[in-house]
A and B are shown apart, each in its own frame.
Chain A
Amino acid sequence: MTTARAAAILLSKELRLEFRTRELLTTTIVFALVVVVLFSFAFEPTTAESRRYGPGLLWIAFLFAGSLMLNPSFAREQSNDTLDALRMAPISPFAILLGKMLANFIFLAIAEAILVPVFGVLYNVSFVAVAGRLIFVLALGTLGLVVTGTVFSSISAHARMRELLLPLLLLPILTPLLIASVEATARLLTDPPELDRTWVAFLAGFDIVFMTASWLLSDYLVEE
């Protein structure tokens, strides 16, 4: 079986599992909303300030929500030892990682699709004019987040205190991604909006580096 086909099957399994309960999605979305609401209490921003700090706030919310959401990705395979079953399947270990990365990408993308418009309404920032470019930046940033996040979720699943450990591993690694995503998003809110080539290229580079690394190291990650 090709890696792509195996990953597609695993993806459909992850989606089916999640949409039966929608536990992960609801908690992630509500958590991110709480962060966005708390922002207004902490800073009382004006519209101009929201445009200035909004991109940073949004990405912080995505990063925190992601580091919460990615935890069960591998941890929930443990209660019934289903990871062993996956390992025994005649597929490449990278397919297991890839299927989970794609599923996590979809979950986080759904959360973002809800969160961004809500943020726009609450803080009076319009994203309509730049929707296409914003989706492009969000996709690149989210990809980097879920690639590293899924890899670290497979590591932290075996550790004690894994819920605490995952953000600790993930967030420092993601600092370059945070800077690049925030800068690229902020450029879209300036007048006139522009797609900053440097930061977009940087994000693409980040995604490629860590996607390649997880492909090369997948044998070790999914092994016994």
Chain B
Amino acid sequence: MKGRVTFALIASALMVFGGYAALYIAPDEKTMHAIQRIFYFHVPNGICSFIAFFIVFIANFAYLATRRPKWDWLGVAGAEVGVACSTIVLITGPIWAHPVWGIWWTWDARLTSTFVLWLLYTAYLLLRGFLDDPQRKAMFSAVFGIFAFLDVPLVYFSNRLWRTQHPQPVILGGANSGLDPTMGKVLLLCWVAVACIMAIAIADRYRLERLRYEYEELRFEVESRGTDARTQVEERR
């Protein structure tokens, strides 16, 4: 408990410092000026959503292999946090695109892929809501999660072949790409801050799901005992 509070405090401090660094320390971008600073928030969330979805895939795979409910808890935790992160990406993206590209949205490979990814994992969460039996819920959502994950590269490549407009990767994008060293450091700081918050959210959601599972188990046990007692009473009559 104490460790979690400390970690949360560290993450908040990092986030505050990251926000300050993104606004005041990072140098002004040559052509885009202030609006470029949203990049320090947009990119870390994008990376974190991919990490979260990858965690979902690992959890789904592990659940099918072991059938231990803890992997299902991790799966739902990862999916919710991943959807939250990619929602932020999908909101901050257009805020940046409108002044820079002159349009809010375009059907470019990365934008479309992120949007489809968001739809896929929202469907994953919806599916869980519609399945009542806990074991079935865990197993079917794990199967769906694996299908969704396999779909991600296909979505990306089909859109890539189709059309693309998003800025090419700046950091590892080839000869003429590259980031100002200060910008790079600020981005790293912001990424660490967002990643810490993501880790806290996943851990908390995992705990919540475990509690919910234990509660369901207990309730089921109480109810079945109640029925047994009732039948016994009736039999005695």
Contacts and interface: CB of A to CB of B under 8 A. Distances in A.
A220 interface: yes
A97 to B, nearest CB: 12
Contact of B130 (A148, A165, A176, A179): A165
A161 B158 contact: no
Interface in A147-168: 148, 151-152, 155-156, 158-162, 165, 168
Contacts of B119: 172
B140 interface: yes
A198 B130 contact: no
B127 A221 contact: no
Report the contact-size class of chain B (Cβ under 8 Å from the partner). 20 to 34
Given A155-B127, A176-B155, A198 B143 contact: no
Contact of A210 (B130, B147, B162): B147
* Chain A interface helix/strand/loop/mixed: helix
Contact of A209 (B116, B133, B136, B154): B154
A34 interface: no
A156 to B, nearest CB: 8
Interface residues of A, number: 32
A160 B130 contact: yes
B123 A155 contact: no
B157 A152 contact: no
* Chain B interface helix/strand/loop/mixed: helix
A183 B162 contact: yes
A27 to B, nearest CB: 23
A175 B155 contact: yes
Given A173-B120, A210-B150, A220 B162 contact: no
Given A158-B131, A160-B132, A176-B158, A148 B139 contact: no
A175 B116 contact: yes
A141 B131 CA distance: 30
B116 A169 contact: no
Nearest to A148: B147
Contacts of B127: 155-156, 159, 165, 169
Contacts of A162: 130
Interface of B: 64, 112, 116, 119-120, 123, 126-127, 130-133, 136, 139-140, 142-144, 146-148, 150-151, 154-155, 157-159, 161-162
Interface of A: 148, 151-152, 155-156, 158-162, 165, 168-169, 172-173, 175-176, 179-180, 183, 198-199, 202, 205-206, 209-210, 213, 217, 220-221, 223
16 contacts: A155-B140, A158-B131, A159-B127, A159-B130, A160-B131, A161-B130, A165-B130, A172-B151, A175-B116, A175-B158, A176-B157, A176-B159, A199-B161, A205-B154, A210-B150, A213-B146
5 closest Cβ contacts across the A-B interface?
Answer: A176-B158, A159-B130, A172-B119, A176-B154, A179-B158
